[in-house]
Structure 1
Amino acid sequence: MFFVRNISQTAIKVSINIETLIKNCEMSKASITISTIHVRFFKGLKDVKVDFIDQDATIRGCNGSGKTTLFDAFTWSLFGSDSQGNSDSKFNIKTLDKDNNVIPRVDHSVELTLGVDGKEVVIKRILKEKWVKVRGSLEPTFQGNKSEFFWNDVPKTSREFQDKVNGIIDESIFKLLSNPLGFNQLHWEKQRNILITIAGEVSDSELATGNDSFTKLLSKLSDKSLGEYKKELAAKRKKLKDAIADIPARIDEVGQGKPEQRDFDSLKQELGKQEVSLNMVQSQIDDLNKAAESVETEKKKIRDKIFELTTSTGRTKLELKQLLEQNQLDPYKREKEIQSDLSIKESEHTNLLTQKNDLSYSLDRSESKIRELDAELVKLREEFNAESKKKLVFGDDFKCPTCHRPLEEEDVEKQKKDMQSDFNEDKAKSLEILNKKGLQLKERLEDEKEISKNLQDKINEKVLNLKDCDKEIKSLKVLLEEEKSKPKADQQSIESQLQDKLDFNKDYQACLKEIKELEVKLENFKAPDNQELIKKKNELSEKIDGLKTQLREEQSIIDADKRIKELSESESSYAQQIADVEKEEFVAQEFTVAKVSALESRVNKLFGDGIKWKLFTKQINGAEVPTCQLTYNGVPWPDLNTASQINTGIEVINVLSAHYGINFPIWVDGRESVTNLQETESQVINLVVSEEHKTLTVV
């Protein structure tokens, strides 16, 4: 009720303002009338002069007698165009003879005598043909047309003449004031702009006075128009409705991606057991590795001791033999020397072979460590990649923790930024820890690879040394056989003496005994085998990885359930937001209707009873779109009969005359269709079809 009362009050104010405006304009209005019009050779009228004794005049004539031609002549004399707005280059001014040929060498002219605020003004426009006699030709030839202009018998240029005419009336206003049909033949936007200019635009602030909803609405339009705001609300409502419609599909999508429910408590217990078993196996492997290192250290000591004892016995034997040979010329001296060299080389060969075997064992242990480190590094990379792929997924339910209302978009964005920042920080820390562990493992792996390479290089070196030693041994054996094949004295006595001495040499025999004991001990040493433990460790690691993969599904299920709950709860939030938007749309529509009513009321107050202007059209969706259509007693102007169109046109001219402050002659073509003509202060020239008047007759 307040809304309707507000519009009514606005309409009363508009009415008072418009009535005051019209009265002020009438007091200072200019008046233009036609006293005479003299037409010569213009569109078939050879010489017609009409004197308007009274202000209004009626010109009768049959069809084709030249009634409309007089209106065209009047328009052409002022602006160089006919009553339809066509310039003289687009319609035929010149008069034709009986054979439809232009009558040559005549001037086509219109002379007007106007009353301008009581003063007489004589206006004349002439269209002349230019005939020029070209050299060598007997007759002049037509070279085109030229126009001449006179104002109170004073010649004027085209520009001077038009400035004079515009001083009386502008052409655009002339078209509206001289023809009752002129205004309604304009494009509706031009009609609308003129009417609003006359009546004045309705102020938004004036319309909103006393209405809190309208005042609140205007506060939201500081940087946008009402139409833009309506589009914004419509887009927001559509977005919210689309979001609600999309919720079931989104819930179904989350449900389809949700892993199958498992007994995660049992899986966690099993994971704990397997991790304990893995730690125990790893501990056993570490113990075996330490034991293997201890065994290898002990074996090396034994080999070193055997080498030391063997060297000692060889030295003792050589010294005793040399001592015996000093006491007797020895024909086997060369053979003995070769044999001595051979023994040294064989001892060296044994030592090299022992060293190579020690290095090979160390290489096996190093390669085993490399494989273990490689496996750990692969596993660590998988953890790193899994952590890198983690992404933060936001829900749609961002609410105020106090009032539980959905947060504003800018607050949601801030909260998202904070959550993203925390997530990125935690993720970066995890990646940094994994990366540091990876670098440490990689460094250990590189060190172990370097150790392995050095061991392999040493083994290769020992292999080469053994090959060289083998060659020398073979060479010495060949020399020895050659030397043995030579004839020699019997050396049995020296050998026997040497053996006897060795048999009774306590130190020598003690060394031999210790060597045998050490060799037996060396054979009994067995390196611990950890292959079964490593196999078991790998099996446990695979089981643990599988259990962890299954347990990760628990968090996926929790996240999916949480997401489904958020989507379900967001539906009611969206519904409330839609209701809020629709409320704002309702207020905006109310405001539009109020403004439409106020503007149409303001315009309609300018006109008499029966004439109404429709300035807005309501569409199917309820939107009010601009238009401009005159109706008379409820009938649109295009559907009116000729009489109603002419009378409403004159009423429009009356309003326009009041606005522009000028009364101008109105040409009413088809006057025979109008019984009672609308009253007007302007001069009226009635053009009436009368078959009994074969020539133009002024009555």
Structure 2
Amino acid sequence: MKILSLKLRNFKGIRSFEIDTQGKDVNVFGDNGTGKTTLADAFMWLLFDKDSNNRKDFQIKTLKPDGEPEHGLEHSVEAALELEDGSQLILKKVFQEKWTKKRGSATAEFTGHTTDYFVDGVPVQKKEYDAKIAEIADEEIFRLLTDPRYFNEVLHWQKRRELLLEVCGDVSDAEVIATNAELSRLSDFLGNRTIEQHRRVIQARRTEINKELEKIPVRIDEVKLGLPDVSDITNPGKLQNDIDILRERLKAKQEELAQAKAGGRVAEKTKQLRMLEAEILELEKQCRAKYETEIQEKRESLKSVQEEYFELMAAISGMEKSLELRHEELASIDNKITTLRAKWHEENNKQFEFKQNDICPACGQKLPEEKLQEARGRALAEFNRQKAEKLEAISADGKQLKAHADAIRTEIEQLSTKIAEARKELQSREIVVERLKDTIQNLEQKLKYATANDDTFKAKYIEKFNLEKEIAALQENNTEIIAAIQKEIDEITASIAALEQAKARLQAREAGMRRIEELKEQERKLAAEYEELEQQLYLTEEFVRTKVRMLEDKINSKFKLARFKLFNTLVNGGIEECCETTFQGVPYSNLNNGARLNIGLDIINTLAEHFGFAPVVFIDNAESVTNILPTKGQQIRLIVSANDKKLRVEVMQNDSSK
């Protein structure tokens, strides 16, 4: 793609400027501040609404000496382009202020900006304009191919690396393995994973193994510290046998004790006591049952009466509310009747008045007396008719209101009677409620002392007391024998506990020793696994080193000047991905401006060939380079020239590089 012409109007301080390139390379000369970089800014703004530094928010307007923009100007850029297929395209964009005169105001006010778009001289919407540019090239691809600095100074290294692999192609794992027989073992453990995925698995597992190996000695020490002392156990093999013998002796003594406690009459009397206690319990239930049943019945009656009481209260409340509403309605009707009565008297007291002009309006002569009397008679008759109709209507309304009032008074009397009757019923129910409450309270008091008033229960309780005294007397004689047997039982139990404790210590020590052996075996297995992982890691690193050499050679072969370092070797022998551009072994960041420019142009040439698209290349500070590398695309070289106080364009006639 070539620029055939470029026109600027009021753009970033350039009032009017036009380049006619004839599709050739162009040198633009100018002193600092004359607007050389503005040409690149204008072209990028025309395409992508950004300047040459990829900034969207930059000042387009021409500024006055005080720094304020000049108002009322149109800011435009127009370019005639020759596309890759030989066709031509004219793009134009106009940016201007919008001034609006509000209703009632004599002056217009600034209300924003507008941008107009043109394709081949035809106005279009922004969406159509952007779509047309997108047909030519993607914005990032365009910047890559038009700005020599973009690849190395703007693009992130990971994006640079991805782009190089896209342009030059990656090296497959199979190709790498085929170059080194030692790498054939990789397929044994890679499975479905890639080299990088397996390296991450190895690194993660190594870290995990290291953590485990660090913990094992600590765990062994903890187990050793927790091992119980068994130096006092002289016969570990006979411990269980000794415990079994003592348990048999204990069982025999416990049976002997049970027989001593249960002996003869004590057992018989105890049996009698249990039977008596059961009888007492049953008597107590019977004594309470008769009161509990009656109390329950009374409580149910109370609940029923209380529900009726509250329902009646609610009914009374409803009737009182209705009565109140009827009184209010009656008062309103009485007021209306009073008003109608006053209106009737007012209408009835009206007197006939007749005023008649005795001069004929047609001829101007005085009317005859008989005509005047006739007119008066008609007026009086009409007055009497209307008065009678109004009085009759008022009387009808009054009668209707009175009938309604009488009906309401009847309702009031009926409601008042019902309320009085309901209140009497409420009082009677309240008396029933209080009586039931008193009855329940008396029954509950009797329930409390139900057994105390029962002679049979009292007799049985006395019988129980006497039987307990007999049993206690019988047991007193057996106390010494029971105490002796119990002492022997306690001694045997203590001996068993001591032997059980010794056995537990032996078992705990044996378990601890087994755990130590398990940890040592785990340590040996982890060490063996770690060694195997180290071997695998070495093979993956050897694979990556081989691939690095092959990949860098493949990529570097695509460029004349630029060389690329795609991997860094770490202190531990490993490698990490990177993307550093070099020239004759010198990193891009340490190159002079001339070398940086030519390296950027070299990269542009390779990328242009890959994308099949060679747009114009803007070269800023071109005066600093004596031998600029030719490019596939048109070059516009921006050259600082102190003698040129205005921009000067020189079209290059010899264009052998294209």
TM bin (shorter chain): 0.5 to 0.7
Q: Deviation at 1:167?
A: 2.5
User: How many corresponding residue pairs?
Assistant: 455
Cα shift at 1:161:
2.6
- Contact between 1:617 and 1:627, CA under 8 Å: does it hold in 2? yes
Label 1:538 to 1:466 Cα distance change in 2 as closer, same or farther (>3 A): closer
The answer for the alignment partner of 1:115 in structure 2 is: 82
Give the Cα–Cα distance (whole angstroms) in 2 for the partners of residues 58 and 672 of structure 1. 10
Counterparts of 2:66 and 2:258 in 1: how far apart (Å)?
132
Which of 624, 635, 639 is residue 586 of structure 2 equivalent to?
A: 635
* 2:622 paired residue among 658, 664, 671: 671
User: CA 1:103–1:639 in 2, change beyond 3 Å: closer, same or farther?
Assistant: same
Match of 1:166, as an amino acid? A
Measure the CA separation in 1 of the matches of 2:468 and 2:101.
Answer: 132
Aligned counterparts of 1:697 and 1:528: Cα–Cα separation in 2: 134
Farther off after superposition, 203-212 or 39-48: 203-212
Please name the residue that 1:169 is paired with.
Answer: 137
Superimposed CA distance per residue, residues 288-338 of structure 1 (whole angstroms, 9 cap, x where no aligned partner): 999999xx9xxxxxxxxxxxxxxxxxxxxxxxxxxxxxxxxxxxxxxxxxx
Among 107, 110, 127, the alignment partner of 1:159 is 127
Q: Per-residue CA shift, 1:378-398, capped at 9, x if unaligned? A: xxxxxxxxxxxxxxxxxxxxx
Distance 1:465 1:150 in 2: 121
Q: Which deviations, in whole Å up to 9, do the C-alpha atoms of 1:510-531 show, x marking residues without a partner?
A: xxxxxxxxxxxxxxxx999686
* CA-CA distance at 1:646 after TM superposition: 0.8
Pair 1:41–1:541, CA change in 2 (3 A)? closer
Is contact 1:281–1:533 with CA below 8 Å preserved after alignment? no
* Counterpart residue number, 2:15: 46
Cross-structure match for 2:311: none
Distance in 2, matches of 1:530 and 1:459, equals 29
* Aligned position for 1:601: 553
Inter-CA distance 629–359: structure 2 relative to 1 (3 Å threshold): same
**Structure 1 residues 526-535 or 573-582, which shifts more?**
526-535
Is the Cα contact below 8 Å between 1:264 and 1:551 reproduced in 2? Answer: no
8 Å Cα contact 1:359-1:459 kept in structure 2: no
1:600, 1:575 → 2: CA distance? 37
Which residue does 2:199 correspond to in 1?
Answer: 230
Amino acid at match of 1:634: G
Question: In the aligned structure 2, how far is the partner of 1:132 from the partner of 1:663?
Answer: 44
Q: Equivalent residue for 2:648?
A: 697
Counterparts in 2 of 1:628 and 1:292: CA distance versus 1, 3 Å: closer
Q: What is the TM-score with the length of structure 2 in the denominator?
A: 0.60
Q: Please tell me whether the aligned partners of residues 164 and 555 of structure 2 are also in contact (alpha carbons under 8 angstroms).
A: yes
The CA deviation string for residues 248-301 of structure 1, in whole angstroms up to 9 with x for no partner, is: 3333333332233346554766986797688679779979999999xx9xxxxx
Q: Partners of 1:94 and 1:112 in 2: how far apart? A: 19
Paired AA for residue 122 in structure 1: I
Matched, 1:590 2:547: no
For the 8 Å contact 2:44–2:51, the answer to whether it is kept is yes
Q: 1 CA distance for matches of 2:266 and 2:114?
A: 122
Query: What corresponds to 1:545 in structure 2?
Result: 497
Comparing 240-249 and 186-195, the one that deviates more: 240-249
| CA distance 1:208–1:359, change in 2 (3 Å) | same
Q: Is 1:124 the equivalent of 2:87?
A: no
Per the normalisation by structure 1, the TM-score is 0.57
Q: Distance in 2 between matches of 1:178 and 1:574?
A: 57
Does residue 75 of the first structure (1) align with residue 44 of the second (2)?
yes
Cα distance in 2 for residues equivalent to 1:109 and 1:697? 20
Q: Equivalent residue for 1:192?
A: 161
Which residue does the alignment assign to 1:402? none
Of the three residues 155, 170, 174, the one matched with 1:205 is 174
Match of 2:115 in 1: 147
Write the deviation string for residues 393-450 of structure 1: whole angstroms up to 9, x where unpaired. xxxxxxxxxxxxxxxxxxxxxxxxxxxxxxxxxxxxxxxxxxxxxxxxxxxxxxxxxx
**DSSP-derived class of the 1:662 partner:** coil
Task: Name the CA shift for 1:33/1:265 in 2 (closer, same or farther; >3 Å).
Answer: same
Distance 2:469 2:170 in 1: 114
Following TM superposition, by how much is the alpha carbon of 1:149 offset from its aligned partner in structure 2, in angstroms?
A: 2.9
Deviates more, 1:243-252 or 1:653-662: 243-252
**Correspondence 1:250-265 to 2 at 5 A:** 250-262=219-231, 264=233
Aligned-partner residue type, residue 630 of structure 2:
E
3-state DSSP class of the match of 1:663? coil
Do the aligned partners of 1:292 and 1:528 also contact (CA within 8 Å) in 2? no
| TM-superposed deviation, 1:697 | 1.2
Give, as a single letter, the amino acid of the residue that structure 1 aligns with 2:123: P
Paired residues for 1:607-626 under 5 Å: 607-609=559-561, 611-626=562-577
The alpha-carbon deviation at position 223 of structure 1 amounts to: 5.7
In structure 2, the CA distance between the partners of 1:552 and 1:187, relative to structure 1 (3 Å rule), is closer
Question: What is the match of residue 680 of structure 1?
Answer: 631
Residues 1:85 and 1:538: Cα distance change in structure 2 (over 3 Å): closer
Alpha-carbon distance between aligned partners in 2 of 1:465 and 1:193, rounded to the nearest angstrom:
101
> Secondary structure of 1:126's match?
strand
Structure 2: distance between partners of 1:115 and 1:198: 26
Partner of 1:424: none
Distance 1:136 1:40 in 2: 35
User: Structure 1 residue aligned with 2:266, among 349, 355, 360?
Assistant: 360
Q: List per-residue Cα deviations over 1:645-686 (Å, max 9, x = no partner).
A: 111110111011101112211111000110111122221111
Contact kept, 8 Å, 2:269 with 2:467, in 1: the verdict is no
In 1, the alpha carbon distance for the partners of 2:219 and 2:261 equals 61
Aligned partner letter, 2:539: V
Separation of aligned partners in 1, 2:168 and 2:516: 59
CA contact (8 A) 2:230 2:502 kept: no
Query: Which residue does the alignment assign to 1:513?
Result: none
Tell me how far apart the structure 2 counterparts of residues 622 and 83 of structure 1 sit (CA, whole Å): 42
Asked whether 1:92 is paired with 2:59, we answer: yes
Pairs within 5 Å for 1:429-578: 463=466, 532=484, 535-578=487-530
Matched, 1:662 2:613: yes
TM-superposed deviation, 1:579 = 1.0
8 Å CA contact retained: 1:67, 1:687: yes
CA distance in 1, matches of 2:541, 2:3: 51
Is 2:201 aligned against 1:249?
Answer: no
Distance 1:286 1:695, change over 3 A: closer
Q: Percent identity?
A: 32
Q: Is the 8 A contact 1:254 1:564 kept in 2?
A: yes
The Cα of 1:150 is off from its aligned counterpart by 2.9
Distance 1:102 1:584 in 2: 68
Q: Residues 48, 566 of structure 1: CA spacing in aligned structure 2 closer, same or farther, 3 A cutoff?
A: closer
CA distance in 2, matches of 1:59, 1:581: 62
Give deviations 1:539-573, integer Å, cap 9, x for gaps.
34432432343244333333333433444444433
Q: Extract unaligned runs of 5+ from structure 2.
A: 274-459, 471-477, 651-658
Q: CA RMSD in A?
A: 4.1
Say which SS state the counterpart of residue 695 (structure 1) adopts: coil
Check 1:264–1:212 CA distance in 2 against 1; reply closer, same or farther (3 A cut): farther
Residue aligning to 1:338? none
CA contact (8 A) 1:37 1:112 kept: yes
Q: Aligned equivalents of 1:653 and 1:198: distance in 2?
A: 12
From 57, 78, 84, the counterpart of 2:26: 57
Per the alignment, in what secondary structure is the counterpart of residue 588 of structure 1? helix
SS of the residue aligned with 2:645?
coil
- Residue 607 of structure 1: how far off its partner (Å): 1.1
With over 3 angstroms needed to count, the CA separation of the structure-2 counterparts of 1:246 and 1:288, relative to structure 1, is closer
